[in-house]
Amino acid sequence: MKFLKELTFTKKLIIFEVLFFILLLVADLVTKAIVDANMTLGQSIVAIEGVLNFTYVHNTGAAFSMFEGKMLYFYIITPISFAIFTWYLVKNHKDSILQNISVVMILAGMLGNFYDRVVYQYVRDMIHATFIDFPIWNVADMWLVIGVGLLVIYLIMEIVKELKMNKKDKDVKQD
């Protein structure tokens, strides 16, 4: 463990982010593999009556079945988006765990679904919230939604911090 003690906080954060990315990606791919091996297409298993089912479907679109069957679009836009978010993470890497983790979650979700699109030409979805009229989704979708939500929270916090600093600077100049 001497190795870890000698690392800076930022380097430890980068190692954590890489391991977290791998964990998220593996969690997505393993859940998809379990469903693929143990359920038939269209099969639904009640997990919590009236709340949650596991329903195995193939999705050739994006969220809410947008761009249904437009695989070429995904083959182009996903690597570009992945590169942009990776560049953003590297360029803006700070000791802000919230920002970094949110981008790592987005990247893991993107790659998990992209893997399915390349290997199967569809995405394996299985989580079905039955208490609302909502599309069936998967673990990668969950990482994407949580990651985007956390990134929005981080950006709002940064804007508020900047506004407070500008107000403080303005108040100091008026005195």
Question: Residue 175 has what pLDDT?
Answer: 56
The whole-model pTM stands at: 0.87
Question: Residue 174 has what pLDDT?
Answer: 66
The answer to whether residue 4 sits within a structural domain is no
Instruction: Evaluate whether 71 touches 78 at the Cβ level (below 8 Å).
Output: no
175 in catalytic set: no
Distance CA 165, CA 175 (A): 16
Residue 145, number of CB atoms within 10 A of its CB:
15
3 state DSSP class of 163: helix
Question: Residue 171 has what pLDDT?
Answer: 65
What Cα–Cα distance (Å) separates residue 154 from each residue in 77, 96, 159?
25, 9, 9
Catalytic residue among 28, 36, 116, 125: 125
Domain ranges, residue 92? 9-162
The answer to whether residue 171 sits within a structural domain is no
The answer to whether residue 175 sits within a structural domain is no
The answer to whether residue 56 sits within a structural domain is yes
36 in catalytic set: no
The answer to whether residue 28 sits within a structural domain is yes
Number of domains in the chain: 1
The answer to whether residue 107 sits within a structural domain is yes
The answer to whether residue 48 sits within a structural domain is yes
Catalytic residue among 28, 141, 169, 171: 141
The answer to whether residue 86 sits within a structural domain is yes
Per-residue pLDDT of the chain (175 residues; tens, 9 = 90+): 677 678 888 888 889 999 999 999 999 999 999 999 999 999 999 999 999 999 999 998 876 567 777 788 889 999 999 999 999 888 888 768 899 999 999 999 999 999 999 999 999 999 999 999 889 999 999 999 999 999 999 999 999 998 988 877 666 666 5
